[in-house]
Chain A
Amino acid sequence: MVITAKIDVKDHDLLDALRGLFKNILAKEDVNAILAPCRLPTKKMVMPTLLTDPVSLNSVDPLSPAFPMNNAKIVSRLTRKPSGGTIAAVMRPCEIRAFVELVKLKQARTDKLIRIGIDCLGAMGNRDYLNWAGENGDGAANTFAAQVLSGKTPDMGSVEPAQACQSCELPVAEGADISIGFFGVDTRQQILVQALTDKGGHLLESLDLSAAEEPASRRKEIERLISERTTFRDNMFAETAGKTDSVEKLSAYLAGCVNCYNCRVACPVCYCRECVFVTDVFDHEPNQYLRWARKKGAVKMPTDTLLYHITRLAHMSTACVGCGQCTNACPNDIAIMPLFRMIAYNTQRAFNYEAGKNPEEMPPLSEFKEDEFAEIVGIHN
């Protein structure tokens, strides 16, 4: 059952209201730490930070359009074994979805974790954010949030939000224990706090917040966002398909790839503990390269760039949550996300699966039935 409450916003300071809520949560006996995006004094970048001191919560900033990494991996690191305490983690919706995938793969656990999901205001690419982030951090975060929430295009100079965020049709945290709502809420006055699970409900009740109703405008605003993003997404898919529909075009699309594998490191759902591409399997003998070169007349080095990307698609596309960290991590500005999301959309649809949605549903390549996909067997189809 959903329990809905609100917190008041004073002086239009959304960030201050959120910090107040997190302090309130951390003060609870059964919450030992909060993991939240923080703007640490020495850094312009906002990074996931594990906090136990209420004073340090003053640097928490989940509003800034910074998304240096998908924190599902961090939460996995904190929960894969008992940590000796309960952690409340502030997560974007795509971080929660990636986390759900890791839980299914038994690389993360939910028992000593409270997921605090926030309505996602979107983010910029890493480089764009670092250029944009001014000295006046809190002010910039609040202004950015106010602009996004008033439905205006935020003033980011020549910078655009990341493509992943512009094409994201799941901006609300559905898999959270507690969800913090901005969309369709008059955030100059208040923020919506909703408990979506029993665990969340238990915590919310102990916070003594004033009860509230979800405003009717919320559903409508979310629907508007989804339809806008879906249009963007479909155009992005069409454009990407046109650029990659043959091996020749795909080669050109990935031409800048230097096999650094940063996209795999940044990917929250690239689940292999050791990637085959960094093992001996691809550490060929020098004479092997020479033989290939002799046979074909030329061999591009490093080898197997396309094999790497297509294999990664075979591994993780059914778990892809579209967070865009692959694009973010690419040193040569290859638009990986549109390609991977496009294929992920197809593979997830083929298995009637939606990454990160239903924790009870097995990943498509982890279960198999006797009676299925008969249409792909044989040579007459």
Chain B
Amino acid sequence: MDDNFEPTILAFFCNWCTYTAADLAGTSRLSYPPNIKIIRVMCSGMVDPKYVIKALLEGADGVLVSGCNPGDCHYINGNFKARRRIKLLKEILPSFGFEPERLRLTWIAASDGVLLAETLQELVAQIKTLGPSQARMQLVG
């Protein structure tokens, strides 16, 4: 494994919980690796499967979708929709050689800045161990 490998991880954070947690982590001066590229979405339930597919095909080494805990969704059940879609993708993508660990779903509440920083640190470490994604190394069209 290349010791200098710095993964690119795309993270879809819901506006109300996980994104707020990321904000809290920042204001609390907690740090997490810069490998995480955050995209703020209004709800984890609006993450279309094709966003995830596109990210992985374009060479992202990992994709994280994170929303509110069950029962906390500001749109009542968007996070349950997200969970079914991630379940679906986890049935499809590994058939084409994407390791299941490259796609993650977590629930992180607005007050969980510490949990957020820890989760991201661990996620980056995991993907570093996994190595670069297969799609990164070739021209995918």
Residues of A within 8 A of B (CB): 241, 244-251, 276, 296, 298-301, 303-307, 310-311, 313-315, 317-318, 342-343, 346-347, 350-351, 364-365, 368-370, 372-373, 376-379
Contact = CB atoms under 8 A, between A and B. Distances in A.
30 contacts: A245-B97, A246-B97, A247-B98, A250-B96, A250-B97, A251-B141, A276-B50, A299-B141, A304-B141, A306-B57, A306-B141, A307-B53, A307-B57, A310-B57, A310-B92, A310-B93, A310-B96, A314-B85, A343-B91, A343-B92, A346-B91, A346-B92, A347-B91, A368-B81, A373-B83, A373-B84, A376-B83, A376-B105, A379-B104, A379-B122
Contacts of A372: 83
A278 to B, nearest CB: 14
A346 B87 CA distance: 11
Output the residue of A300, A346, A365, A376 with the most chain B CB within 10 A: A376
Output the residue of B90, B91, B122 with the most chain A CB within 10 A: B91
Nearest to A368: B80
Interface residues of B, number: 39
Contacts of A347: 88, 91-92
Given A247-B138, A249-B97, A379-B119, 14 more contacts: A244-B95, A244-B96, A247-B140, A251-B140, A276-B50, A299-B139, A307-B50, A311-B53, A314-B49, A317-B92, A346-B95, A368-B80, A373-B84, A378-B106
B13 interface: no
Output the residue of B49, B96, B105, B135 with the most chain A CB within 10 A: B96
B32 to A, nearest CB: 13
Question: For chain B, what secondary structure do more than half of its interface residues adopt (helix, strand, loop), or is it mixed?
Answer: helix
Interface in B59-87: 70-71, 77, 80-81, 83-87
Contacts of A248: 134, 138
Given A305-B141, A314-B53, A372-B83, A247 B135 contact: yes
A343 B95 contact: yes
B107 interface: yes
B75 to A, nearest CB: 12
B41 interface: no
Nearest to A246: B97
Contacts of B89: 314
Output the residue of A300, A314, A317 with the most chain B CB within 10 A: A314
Contacts of B139: 296, 298-300
B123 interface: yes
Interface in B108-141: 119, 122-123, 126, 134-135, 138-141
A314 B50 contact: yes
Nearest to A300: B141
Contact of B70 (A304, A343, A351, A370): A370
B29 interface: no
A310 B98 CA distance: 13
A307 B54 contact: yes
